[in-house]
Amino acid sequence: MQRTIFDHVKIFDGSGSPSFAGRVLVEGERIAQVAKRDEPLIGAADATVIDCAGATLMPGLIEAHAHLTWPSSTERFEPRFMLPPEEMMLAAARNGRILLDQGFTSAFSAGALGERIEVVLRDEFKSGGLPGPRLKASTIERSPEGADGIETGKKLSRGRGPEAMRGFVRHCAEIGIDTVKLVLSGEDALLPGSSQHILYDEAEVDAACDEARLHGLKVAAHTQAAEAVKMALRCGVDVLYHCSYADEEALDMLEAQKDRIFVAPAIGVIVATLEASPPPHIDMRSMKEMAKPVVENTQRLIPELHRRGVRVLPGGDYGFPFNPNGTNARDLQHFVDLYGYTPAEALSAATMLGGQIMGLGQELGLIRQGYLADLLVVEGDPTVDVRSLVDKRNLRMIMQRGLFHKAPQPIAHAA
């Protein structure tokens, strides 16, 4: 069994606790021991030692709102949103590798532009056939036909009503999906004012969630309006995206279910919208106006949710031309700048809480004995400046399941 020691590191274990100098032993795909600087490592005589020269060792990052099929990335600008299926598969595979290059060793999908693309990629990533994050696969986001400008590709159209929703979820289970995405309210960026429109009735959402539980699937939902948030909570949605217009009642309901649900505000796409400088033939004025109240609202809401102990995670709708895949780590700084998180709190949200949203909270997202060895060695100290994670050149090493995706240079001597 391959054994690796990370020596002379500052360890950020993902919990949010202060970093400490120490050493970590990895055996196979798991962390075998975590020792402080002067503590011995037992049974590591034949391990390969990597001298990290004071760099930071931390858990791999986890993207909570991934869109691998959203085509644009830091490596390839793509003005089209929908691509032919062959090109879409290539773009999604490339985006998976790009996320891993950026230190995102796991990703929870918030929807795809094809039925089985992410199922195929998930299995390829898991087998090592392609480089990419550990993936919770989703499928086409379900919204009613023609609903308020929401269009994420060809729908799996199965009509309206509770039985149609159950049929949709059963189909998702049959094709191997992990998480179902429902669009419960509209989106102002696509149709001004539609964020307050409720697209499904409660019986439909309740049926979808009930059927998902029968098949062991998670349900995520696009919830902008306060009533969409409350409907999602009443029906048992697991992951709530955006929540931009949550009112006091919605906040109380979120707090009451804080041990069951996750929230991801997806602020990355909003900030990128405001920053965007499109060419003259692209008019983003309406989108920019719609983005302003989202920033203002979430600057009030997210710190309050954080104070109440609700699990809020980074993940920002990356994959648009103005918000490409590969810039995902910017969300960490948004949590610091806009929501008042400390860098350590933002990192913990993207690691420890990330392990929990992946359904692997007892073995992923922390540097603890027995946990999966998804690890990063980072130049400098991201608990002081999380912006260091935006530049992949600062990632000196990327390990996933105990295997090097990016090996440190040079690998040092045997112990």
Contact 115, 156 (CB under 8 A): yes
SS3 letters across 311-334: CECCCCCCCECCECECCCCHHHHH
Beta bridge partners of 30: 27, 372
Query: 92: Cβ–Cβ under 8 A, 6 or more apart, which residues?
Result: 68, 69, 112, 117, 118, 121
Please give the helix or strand (H or E) that residue 26 lies within, else none. Answer: strand 20-27
- The structural domains of the chain, with segments of one domain joined by +, span 3-59+362-406, 61-328
Domain 61-328 CATH assignment equals 3.20.20.140: yes
Task: Quote the pLDDT of residue 156.
Answer: 53
**Distance in angstroms (rounded) separating the CA atoms of residues 143 and 186:** 9
**Distance in angstroms (rounded) separating the CA atoms of residues 122 and 177:** 10
Count of CB atoms within 10 A of residue 193's CB?
A: 10
Task: Quote the pLDDT of residue 40.
Answer: 83
Instruction: Write the pLDDT tens digit of every residue in 344-355.
Output: 999 999 999 999
Task: Quote the pLDDT of residue 192.
Answer: 86
Alpha-carbon separation of residue 133 from 13, 139, 162, 330 (angstroms): 20, 17, 34, 18
Among candidates 261, 266, 196, which has minimal Cα distance to 226? 196
Count of CB atoms within 10 A of residue 203's CB?
A: 12
Task: Quote the pLDDT of residue 147.
Answer: 55
Cis peptide leading into 410, omega within 30 of 0?
Answer: yes
Task: Quote the pLDDT of residue 414.
Answer: 47
**Distance in angstroms (rounded) separating the CA atoms of residues 116 and 168:** 14
Count of CB atoms within 10 A of residue 101's CB?
A: 18
- Intervals of the chain under pLDDT 50: 149, 152-154, 411-415
Of 3.20.20.370, 3.30.70.1230, 2.30.40.10, 3.20.20.210, the CATH number of 3-59+362-406 is 2.30.40.10
Instruction: Write the pLDDT tens digit of every residue in 29-62.
Output: 999 999 998 888 877 778 999 999 999 999 999 9
Among candidates 306, 288, 398, 333, which has minimal Cα distance to 57? 398
- CA end-to-end span of the chain: 15
Quick one: how far is CA 175 from the chain centroid?
A: 22
pTM listed for this prediction: 0.94
Task: Quote the pLDDT of residue 146.
Answer: 58
| Common-topology check for domains 3-59+362-406 and 61-328 | no
Task: Quote the pLDDT of residue 284.
Answer: 86
**Distance in angstroms (rounded) separating the CA atoms of residues 313 and 354:** 7
DSSP three-state, residue 384 = coil
Which two three-digit tokens encode residue 399? 């390990």
